[in-house]
Chain A
Amino acid sequence: MPAVKCQGKVIDAEGAVIILVVSGQDFHFNNSYLGTFSKTLNLPKGKYFIIVYCLTDGEMLFDITGNDISVKPAVPGKFDKNNKRKTYDLIV
């Protein structure tokens, strides 16, 4: 199963809670983090829906990396207090 890494780098923030949700046909993952995080998931081939919710008073750069993957909209994406929630379509 291909490894896909989701990373959030918090910049210039006193605190940031991040909720990461990755959902596929037979795969469901969700977790909350405080500050910068990195999570590697071994995902079976298929389509995934990703929700990232960053409750921050600063900024966070979010990126998804892995071999032979396609992500829409393009990553890395930037989160701030005016853009807290984003969704991505991932094909592995």
Chain B
Amino acid sequence: MKKVLVLLFVLQSTGNVVAQTPSGYEREIAGKKTGDDKANFSSILNALGKFTSQDEATITFQPTLYGIVSMVDPKIREQNNFIKATFLRNFQLNLGISPSETSIFEIDNFQSGFSYAILNNKKLKKKEYDALVASDPAIQNLGLYLAALGEFVANHPNTAAGEQARLYAEKGLSEEAVKR
């Protein structure tokens, strides 16, 4: 009798362990429940533009062509491409759907149209962008650092210190050189 009870206990314990161990499929699903997925979904909604239901009966999408293209080609979000894609950013689609009152699977009305932003003061001109890049503090600092090195090399010809500065100017400062 004791043996049977022990055997039952062992079987029960094994069953519990097996039940609590996630299967491969469960692990795959659990792996997808992350903030990244939420971020991805959020970025898709952002790309689709405004998603409104002003009168609680109509669903309206107002994506720009830029938003739609950015879902397919993320490279367009790079700064230079962003500036070039003026047409895509100014061209907005207006799509509206009115679901039926009786069923959400039926559509009573569908509207479509487009608008183009002729005036857009938010647009950054190429010249302004150039000035923005050139005024980047990191670039300014690098310029000052190189200018100081150049001046030192020019003012200390044929000296050990001058040659060291020349080496820094040619190769840059390595981590080892900074630590020394």
A binding-site residues for B, Cβ under 8 Å: 14-15, 17, 19, 21-25, 28, 30-35, 47-51, 53, 55, 85-87
Contacts and interface: CB of A to CB of B under 8 A. Distances in A.
Pairs A-B, 7 closest by C-beta atoms: A23-B150, A23-B154, A30-B147, A21-B150, A34-B130, A49-B153, A14-B80
Nearest to B162: A49
Q: Tell me if B's interface is mostly helix, strand, loop or mixed.
A: helix
Given A19-B143, A23-B147, A49-B166, A14 B154 contact: no
Interface residues of B, number: 27
B26 interface: no
B150 A85 contact: no
Nearest to B81: A14
Contacts of A87: 166, 169-170
A21 B142 CA distance: 11
A55 B169 CA distance: 15
B170 A85 contact: yes
Interface string B119-153: 00000000000100110100110111011011101
A87 B149 CA distance: 11
B172 to A, nearest CB: 6
B80 A30 contact: no
Given A14-B78, A17-B133, A87-B169, A25 B146 contact: no
16 contacts: A14-B81, A21-B147, A21-B149, A21-B150, A23-B153, A23-B154, A25-B155, A28-B147, A31-B143, A32-B139, A47-B157, A48-B154, A49-B169, A51-B150, A85-B171, A86-B170
A86 B150 CA distance: 12
B79 interface: yes
Contact of A32 (B81, B134, B149, B170): B134
A49 B155 CA distance: 10
B79 A32 contact: no
Nearest to B154: A23
A53 B142 contact: yes
